[in-house]
């Protein structure tokens, strides 16, 4: 485990450490099927928290902490969240070892959403032992290279934001609450279209034109199925 910022909340209080109630998802992106992706939406939680609290919040938003199933998905998430302002930050993902003290064996880990373990990208020397509860995974981006995985404890001494994965309702589902098409999605599309945001480039041709508008209207009218 690479030692990152920890915080003695029991001594200082949650507010002093930056922990608080998670209230929204931010910086959402979709991994387009046209680009080889799964069509799922990924977003960050807005407030650092322990792993179990972050996973519970993700579930309340219709998803889970992200499962990383391929090299390509690992790289997509690195570019989306661990570059620029996020380059020095660790984020929870949904990899966990359910049995205490079994976490040193990489074969004992599983994805919280139940998906098969088809890919891992441990930091060299991981998983390791720092405490008896190092059963939860955070990802980070050393030297702006590849997104690697470290095992951490689930405690108030280890508070991070999380990468949440939500199966997309359809391409028109652009804003919270995900899984429901409403005025917030329409406003998000309009803002994206006018601002040149890739979320409004529905045919991913690099242009913002009538084709995108027609695709959005068709997706919105189809609804969540």
Query: Do 161 and 217 lie in a common domain?
Result: no
Place of tokens 């984020």: 91
96 within 8 A of 150, measured Cβ to Cβ: no
**Domain count of the chain?**
2
- Mean pLDDT is lowest, of 3-7, 80-84, 148-152, 158-162, for 3-7
Mean of pLDDT values over 145-156: 88
Query: Do 126 and 197 lie in a common domain?
Result: no
53-108 pLDDT tens trace? 999 999 988 899 999 999 999 999 999 999 888 788 999 999 999 877 689 888 89
The answer to the question of residue 178 being in a domain is no
Mean of pLDDT values over 211-225: 90
Is residue 34 predicted with pLDDT exceeding 80? no
Compute the Cα dihedral for 46, 95, 154, 55 and give only its sign: positive
Mean of pLDDT values over 36-63: 92
Q: Report the pLDDT value the prediction gives residue 133, as an integer from 0 to 100.
A: 84
Nearest in space to 1 (alpha carbons), one of 111, 116, 120, 129: 129
157-214 pLDDT tens trace? 789 999 999 987 788 988 878 878 999 999 999 999 999 988 899 888 999 999 999 9
pTM, rounded to two decimals:
0.77
The answer to the question of residue 1 being in a domain is no
152 within 8 A of 50, measured Cβ to Cβ: no
Q: Report the pLDDT value the prediction gives residue 47, as an integer from 0 to 100.
A: 94
Query: Do 161 and 191 lie in a common domain?
Result: no
Query: Do 193 and 90 lie in a common domain?
Result: no
E strands, 8-120, are 25-30, 41-45, 64-65, 91-96, 110-111
The answer to the question of residue 39 being in a domain is yes
Domain span at residue 198 reads 183-222
CATH of the domain at 112: 3.10.100.10
Is residue 20 predicted with pLDDT exceeding 80? no
Q: 143 falls in which pLDDT band (50, 70, 90)?
A: low
Mutual angle of helices 183-195 and 210-222, in 10-degree steps: 170
């Amino acid at each position: 485990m690479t030692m990152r910022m920890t915080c003695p909340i029991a001594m200082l209080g949650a507010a002093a450490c930056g922990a608080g109630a998670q209230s929204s998802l931010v910086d959402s992106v979709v991994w387009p099927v046209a680009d080889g992706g799964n069509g799922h939406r990924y977003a960050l939680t807005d407030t650092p928290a322990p792993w179990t609290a972050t996973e519970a919040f993700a579930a309340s938003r219709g998803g889970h902490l992200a499962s990383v199933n391929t090299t390509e998905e690992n790289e997509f998430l690195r570019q989306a969240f661990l570059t620029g302002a996020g380059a020095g930050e660790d984020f929870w993902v949904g990899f966990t070892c359910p049995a205490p003290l079994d976490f040193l064996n990489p074969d004992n880990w599983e994805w919280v959403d139940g998906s098969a373990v088809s890919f891992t990208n441990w930091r060299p020397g991981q998983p390791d032992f720092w405490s008896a509860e190092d059963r939860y995974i955070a990802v980070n981006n050393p030297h702006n290279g590849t997104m690697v995985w470290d095992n951490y404890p689930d405690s108030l001494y280890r508070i991070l934001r999380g990468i949440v994965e939500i199966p997309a309702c359809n391409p028109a589902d652009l804003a919270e609450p995900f899984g429901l098409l409403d005025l917030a999605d329409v406003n998000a599309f309009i803002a994206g279209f006018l601002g040149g945001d890739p979320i409004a480039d529905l045919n991913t041709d690099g242009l913002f034109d009538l084709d995108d508008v027609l695709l959005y209207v068709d997706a919105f009218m189809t609804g969540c199925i």
